[in-house]
Amino acid sequence: MQIITGQLTHFVNPLARRDNVYSEQQRKILDIDKSHEAIETIRLWPGYSVTPLYSLNSMARDADIGKLWYKDESRRFDLKSFKALGGAYAVIRQLQKALEQKLGKTPDTREILAGKWRKEIQEITVSCATDGNHGRSVAWGARLFGCSAVIYIHRDVSEGRKECMESFGARVIRIEGNYDDSVKMADAEAKANGYIIVSDTSYPGYTEIPKDVALGYTAMLSELVDQLGGEIPTHVFVQGGVGGLASTVCGYFWQLWGNERPRFSVVEPEQANCLQQSARAGEPVRVEGSLTTLMAGLACGEVSILAWEILKNGSDDFMTVSEDTVPATMRLLAQGYRNDPAIEAGESAVPGLAAALLARADQEIARKMQLDSSSKILLIGTEGATDPELYQKLVDIDSEI
C-alpha cells in the first residue's frame, strides 16, 4: 500500500564501505569513547528527560515494513529540537575552556549552573549562523550558562524563529543572503569583535568546535540504543543539511555495531542537496542558488568538511524528496496514522520518513536498498513545531501552502 506520493531521487554511494573499519581520521572527528562526558553533562541540565521512541506499527504494516521506529525530538527541553543538545553543549565547553585560560582550572558544569563564575562568564559572547534550530540552542545555552549571544540568520528564516531566539536574550542579525552567506558573515564578525563562533558546520580553519556539537548529539543516540533494547535496525534514514547530524549518527552506529550497522541513508530537499551532489562528484560540491525549500533546517548548500569525512564512506544512499511530501507526511504524523500515536513533527523532521515510505513503494529502489517486509527502519524526528504558525498552516489540509 502506498501511503504517500511524491518524487524521490536515489543515488547508491559507490564509495560506501560495509566493513567494520572506522578509520583513525574519522575517530579524530567523532570518537564515541569521548561521548560519555557529554552525556553526563547534558543530564545535569534543568529539564533534561529522555525523548520518546515510538513504534509506528500501523504505518509499518500498511507499508509492508517489519518495524518503523521514530525518535521524537519535539519534546527536547523547551526547544523542540535535537539541536538543543549540540549547540548548548558546545557553548558550555567553550566557556569552560575560556575560564580555564583565565583561572588556571576548569570549572565543572554544576559550578557554572550555580552561577559561581557569573561575572567572568558575562564578559564572553558566543555567536553562530543558523537556519533556526542551532541558533536557538546556542541562544538558550548562553542564557542558561550566563554569557551573551549574537546570532546571524538569512533572508528565509521565519520571523517566528527569529523572535524565539530573541526571547532567550540573543541579539539576532538578519542578512540578505542565504545560509552559506550567513556563515561567512558570522565568521567575519566574530573575528572583528572577539566573539566565540559556536557553529554546527565546519570549514577550512574551523574544525574543533563542531566536534563538541556532534558530541552533544550523542546524548540522543545513547538514549536510542537503550530504547531499542538490544535490537539493531536494518536501515536508518536521516535528514541531511550540512551533514552534522547525519555524520554523527553514522559514525556512532559504525563504531558501536561495526559490520552489523544499519544501511545508512541521507535525505535532502531537491533544491538543497549538497550531500547528494557531493556523493555523485566524489568530493564536496557547493549548491548555488536560493536553496528555497519548506524544509528550512535543511536549506544548506555547502557540506561540513568534517561530516563529509564520515559520510563519504559511511553513507550507503543519498536521497532527495520533493516539497509536496513534506506537508503530507507532517499530517500523517499529526493526525496519528490509524492506531499509531499522534506526533508533532516539523517540516525538517519528516524527510527521512517520507523517503522510507516512497523507497519501500518503489520496486526498483526497494530492491537496491534491500528494503522488504522484514526491514527494521529507524527514523529521527529532529524537530517539532519550532515555528508554530507555519506548522499549523502545513498540517491544515484546507490551508494554501
Give the span between the Cα atoms of 37 and 67, in whole angstroms: 32
CA distances 125 to 94, 96, 104, 170, 189, Å, are: 10, 13, 20, 10, 12
Cell representation of residue 247: 555524520
**Residue 400 has what pLDDT?**
47
Tell me if 96 is assigned to some domain: yes
Considering only CA atoms, which of 22, 27, 29, 23 is closest in space to residue 213?
Answer: 29
- Mark whether 218 and 98 lie in a shared domain: no
| Maximum Cα interatomic distance, the chain, rounded to a whole number of Å | 63
**How crowded is residue 231: how many other Cβ atoms within 10 Å of its Cβ?**
12
Q: Is residue 187 flagged as an active site residue?
A: no
Q: At what angle do helices 83-103 and 133-145 cross, to 10 degrees?
A: 40
- Mark whether 353 and 231 lie in a shared domain: yes
DSSP output for 129-168: EESSHHHHHHHHHHHHHT-EEEEEE-TTS-HHHHHHHHHT
Considering only CA atoms, which of 301, 179, 172 is closest in space to residue 240?
Answer: 301
Of 205, 222, 256, which marks where a domain is finished?
Answer: 205
Helix ranges, 15-156 (H): 24-29, 35-42, 57-63, 83-103, 109-113, 118-121, 133-145
Tell me if 327 is assigned to some domain: yes
Tell me if 130 is assigned to some domain: yes
- Mark whether 72 and 44 lie in a shared domain: yes
- Mark whether 194 and 257 lie in a shared domain: no
Considering only CA atoms, which of 75, 95, 103, 96 is closest in space to residue 148?
Answer: 95
Of 205, 223, 244, which marks where a domain is finished?
Answer: 205
Give the span between the Cα atoms of 395 and 356, in whole angstroms: 20
**Residue 397 has what pLDDT?**
62
- Mark whether 200 and 302 lie in a shared domain: no
Of 166, 188, 205, which marks where a domain is finished?
Answer: 205
Give the span between the Cα atoms of 348 and 325, in whole angstroms: 11
Tell me if 98 is assigned to some domain: yes
Give the span between the Cα atoms of 68 and 57, in whole angstroms: 7
Can you give the pTM of this predicted structure? 0.95
- Mark whether 290 and 175 lie in a shared domain: no
Tell me if 2 is assigned to some domain: no
Give the structural domain span for 147.
Answer: 84-205
C-beta of residue 301 within 8 angstroms of C-beta of residue 352: no
Given the residues 31, 71, 80, 131, the one annotated as active site: 131
Cell representation of residue 22: 572506522
- Mark whether 105 and 44 lie in a shared domain: no
- Mark whether 169 and 196 lie in a shared domain: yes
- Mark whether 305 and 219 lie in a shared domain: yes
**Residue 16 has what pLDDT?**
95
Q: Is residue 83 flagged as an active site residue?
A: yes
**Residue 270 has what pLDDT?**
96
Given the residues 71, 83, 312, 376, the one annotated as active site: 83
The percent helix, strand, coil of the chain (3-state, each to 5) is 45, 15, 40
Tell me if 336 is assigned to some domain: yes
Tell me if 3 is assigned to some domain: no
Considering only CA atoms, which of 236, 241, 237, 250 is closest in space to residue 269?
Answer: 241
Distance, CA of 105 to chain centre: 32
- Mark whether 77 and 88 lie in a shared domain: no
**Residue 132 has what pLDDT?**
81
Amino acid at 28: K
C-beta of residue 307 within 8 angstroms of C-beta of residue 243: yes
Burial class (CB in 10 A: 0-12, 13-18, 19+), 152: buried
Cell representation of residue 239: 535528514
Kindly report the CATH number assigned to the domain that includes residue 88: 3.40.50.1100
Per-residue pLDDT of the chain (401 residues; tens, 9 = 90+): 899 999 999 999 999 988 878 999 999 999 999 999 999 999 999 999 999 999 999 999 999 999 999 999 999 998 999 999 999 999 999 999 999 999 999 999 999 999 999 999 999 999 999 988 899 999 999 999 999 999 999 988 889 889 999 999 999 999 998 888 998 999 999 999 999 999 998 989 999 999 999 999 999 999 999 999 999 999 999 999 999 999 999 999 999 999 999 999 999 999 999 999 999 999 999 998 878 899 988 988 999 999 999 999 999 999 999 999 999 999 999 999 999 999 999 999 999 999 999 999 999 999 999 999 999 999 999 999 998 999 999 998 655 44
Burial class (CB in 10 A: 0-12, 13-18, 19+), 62: middle
- Mark whether 114 and 226 lie in a shared domain: no
E-only strand ranges, 233-344: 235-239, 263-269, 317-321
**Residue 135 has what pLDDT?**
94
Tell me if 389 is assigned to some domain: yes
Domain count for the chain: 2
- Mark whether 216 and 351 lie in a shared domain: yes
Distance, CA of 142 to chain centre: 20
Give the span between the Cα atoms of 131 and 129, in whole angstroms: 7
Considering only CA atoms, which of 72, 7, 65 is closest in space to residue 333?
Answer: 72
C-beta of residue 383 within 8 angstroms of C-beta of residue 133: yes
Give the span between the Cα atoms of 118 and 120, in whole angstroms: 6
C-beta of residue 322 within 8 angstroms of C-beta of residue 6: yes
